[in-house]
Chain A
């Protein structure tokens, strides 16, 4: 707890002789902790990410022992993948290509279509997420903290559960059409379609936008707003000139993340959209699943290049547009119940009410449908699916997946991954908010785990870690619980970085400099001065790291060795049979356990610490 830390560090009491060696050791630890953590982070990244992933990407350029760009060239000049752009790369005259690109029957190609649906998904996710951030950051109402804690819940839901909820909510015979029918409208045929994919992506990513933006909004310094107001700025003007400049980097960041995620999307597309809407990742999975590594890896590299260029572009922009702020005192939240019945008070609240209705349909209805699915059988309501879980727990064979070990492992891996990812993320945040040439490049490289295709990571881990490497006649192989935690931490720390770094960058440098001038080592200045000031972001980052671990499926499945290392998503996967009932019941267990965990994380972290 940072407040305890502050108390125990700030105390100049008891400068007794006997404490001197302890203090010397502590000082040494503090002096060297940041470089040591940085080195550890790098080592972990190399072992569980860069090396394994590189082994797969090598397949794209080394075919049958010879280096070649043939596979790449094949993809880049194939209109099936790159649309009209491929014809340009194939050497056709630019004018003819531009002409056909402007014609109505132009081809986007798989890559173009993937980018198109990702752009749509990003716009919708931001449109849904930002109002939620506004509500959570600026209004006080009962249950606000609970809702804020639960915002990232969709993040951990396996796509099969989301598909179940979406079919029950937006399907031909779903709740939405029943409701529309009751008021004489509809029915609408939403599934399967591009719209369904975009809405499902908003279901996953709007909470991400909301959580990141809320953290930034809560860090806006109230005194700056008050100064603006006292200088005669109206509330709108104060918002535009003081609040927005500190909030919109977070919106842009979360938009960039949403684009990267939806660019690499795959199971949702095939569950709710169908093969006609296949994305790049669908083909990467198909090719690697058919063991066609060269094409698969080359396509994944094209995908990675696009995602990383976007992130790099964003990070350059972020570095150039940092808004410095003291970030000391948060703004007061307004009560949700209007204090007076004036238009100015009512208008935003009416807007929020409309928003709440939309959010209810988008977020609550699918989740409620999942819960309902877990409770229904052919003859109405039943507890049979939960009974299955109990029976499996009681009588399942040793080689079968049982519910309780899955819950226990998910929690253990989640907490351990959080404990590793949080320091990693903070250290990388510090490293990437210093000023040096090429820092955006370092930042982009550190963000790579976000944008590498899931199947490439899985295959890399399998070949690089599980099968092992021959070193001097010994085969070094890594698997099991520690490897799972390491992989989860590597996948989760970029979130910590992306929420914490902008806050750190925007802090007034003089705060750190004063602390350093007073003799505090860098690590202590970070712990005592900087982190408390960006605490909402640290908590949000912690929640993301935990959520990512709990929801993670592929690397867990690859790295688990022997019995007893399966998690809740794996149990859900195993319990899918002809009836989805047992899987949905396990999904509800996942919902309950993770909701409890998110509430606990936020509760333990405190609503706000600071000066």
Chain B
């Protein structure tokens, strides 16, 4: 599952969405070995369940004569955008964990390039065609998640369509997240825009609000409330059962529903910073991440889906991690110039006092 927005989420304990801190030793060179500095979100290296960071670092260092240093500023990609805006050097070579809407924000805010074109990255041709999201080919997808409903099957059966959520018997049954600050909340909002169009989604949300949808701050706020039985359905990831199974929880209480048989895809990409000190090592790392065995390992450890067709996954992986019959997503061009406005309009309607 994609845990990145637990931390940028404006709700929950994430009391700061805009703070830069560096955990990880300071970049520099040690003993003649090159140092590759990779910026990423902190749960990639530090989550309590499983995170691929430590494994990726040692696997990469074993093979290449490079020190990999993780850098996890607490406001994530914004940290680098702000450094660029302030004219301060960027110490990282690569960013891992870039969403399409992140990229839209980068390009909206900065005149000069933050990222360089990816160029020739071995393995890139294996990426599933639907996942490439950068028209300028800077970002290379390395995994993807799908947003779905998770519901307690012992309490209810989730509706099969968006309209079904408006039924009287679903009143007060759904918990979603603030699209302004949470990746799942944003994906769910974008899915409704995909479904009802930019002219119709606000009406749909007005109906949803009448049916007492609860919109909490972050994914962890919402999931915590759902776990406590506040409501039987929550917007979450389609890999939910992987975690539930690890904990020995009753899978009947963790059912997945893809509304309209669709799941909103949230690909994550990596990109080399334009003024990277180690652009070659950074590209080496990108193609390393796209190898079939590494793709499988990242997918399992990050509990996401691989980005490539050729990924080597354990046989039982697909049993618990569900892929939607029809993945949907907005392209970079569709998001560009629209996503902030869509969210602002939603916020103004939903919070109107």
Measured CB to CB, the residues of A under 8 A from B are: 80, 83, 107-110, 112-113, 158-161, 163-164, 167-168, 171-174, 191-192, 266-267, 269-271, 274-278, 282-283, 285-286, 288-292, 377-379, 388, 397-401, 454-455, 458-459, 461-463, 466-468, 475, 553-563, 566, 569, 572-583
Contact = CB atoms under 8 A, between A and B. Distances in A.
Nearest to A281: B10
Given A171-B228, A455-B16, A467-B88, A558 B21 contact: yes
Contact of B223 (A267, A285, A555, A578): A578
B78 A271 contact: no
Contacts of A463: 82, 86
Contact of A173 (B8, B228, B340): B228
Given A397-B54, A576-B220, 12 more contacts: A167-B225, A171-B230, A267-B217, A270-B221, A285-B17, A399-B70, A400-B46, A455-B18, A559-B21, A561-B21, A562-B22, A563-B24
B309 interface: no
Interface string B243-267: 1000111000000000000000000
Contacts of B14: 267, 573
A282 B1 contact: no
B184 interface: no
Contacts of A289: 8, 10, 17-18, 75, 78, 180-181
A573 B7 CA distance: 7
Nearest to A564: B23
Interface in B294-341: 340
B218 A270 contact: yes
A557 B16 CA distance: 8
B46 A401 contact: yes
A399 B23 contact: yes
5 contacts: A159-B13, A171-B228, A267-B13, A557-B19, A576-B7
B215 interface: yes
Given A160-B13, A580-B220, A475 B88 contact: yes
Contact of A191 (B48, B230, B247, B353): B230
Interface of B: 1, 3, 6-8, 10-26, 42-43, 45-49, 53-54, 57, 69-70, 74-75, 78-79, 81-83, 86, 88, 105, 109, 178, 180-181, 209, 214-218, 220-221, 223-225, 228-230, 243, 247-249, 340, 343, 347-348, 350-353
| Closest 7 A/B residue pairs (Cβ) | A270-B217, A160-B13, A270-B11, A554-B16, A558-B19, A582-B48, A173-B229
A485 to B, nearest CB: 15
B109 A574 contact: no
Contacts of B340: 290, 292
A154 B14 CA distance: 18
A378 B230 CA distance: 18
A562 B25 contact: yes
B42 A574 contact: yes
A contact face: mostly helix, strand, loop, or mixed: helix
A290 B180 contact: yes
Contacts of B347: 275, 278, 283, 286
A174 B228 contact: yes
A377 B249 CA distance: 9
B16 A458 contact: yes
Nearest to B220: A576
B215 A276 contact: yes
Nearest to A469: B86
A566 B350 CA distance: 37
A577 B49 contact: yes
A573 B16 CA distance: 11
Contact of A107 (B19, B69, B352): B352
B86 A467 contact: yes
A583 B7 CA distance: 13
Given A275-B216, A578-B243, A163 B109 contact: no
Nearest to A475: B88
A582 B220 CA distance: 14
A359 B230 CA distance: 24
Nearest to B240: A578
A488 to B, nearest CB: 15
A192 B6 CA distance: 20
B320 to A, nearest CB: 13
Contacts of B82: 291, 462-463, 467
Nearest to A109: B353
A418 to B, nearest CB: 21
A310 B18 CA distance: 28
Contacts of B228: 167-168, 171-174
B18 A163 contact: no
Contacts of B12: 159-160, 163, 267, 270-271, 576
Contacts of B353: 83, 107-110, 112-113
A580 B224 contact: yes
Contacts of A174: 228
Nearest to B50: A577
A287 B8 CA distance: 13
B210 to A, nearest CB: 12
Contacts of B214: 192, 274
A160 B13 CA distance: 5
A267 B75 CA distance: 16
B15 A553 contact: yes
A267 B225 contact: no
Contacts of A168: 228
Contacts of B45: 397, 399-400
A454 B350 CA distance: 24
B224 A276 contact: no
A192 B46 contact: no
A291 B109 contact: yes
A65 to B, nearest CB: 14
B140 to A, nearest CB: 23
A468 B82 CA distance: 12
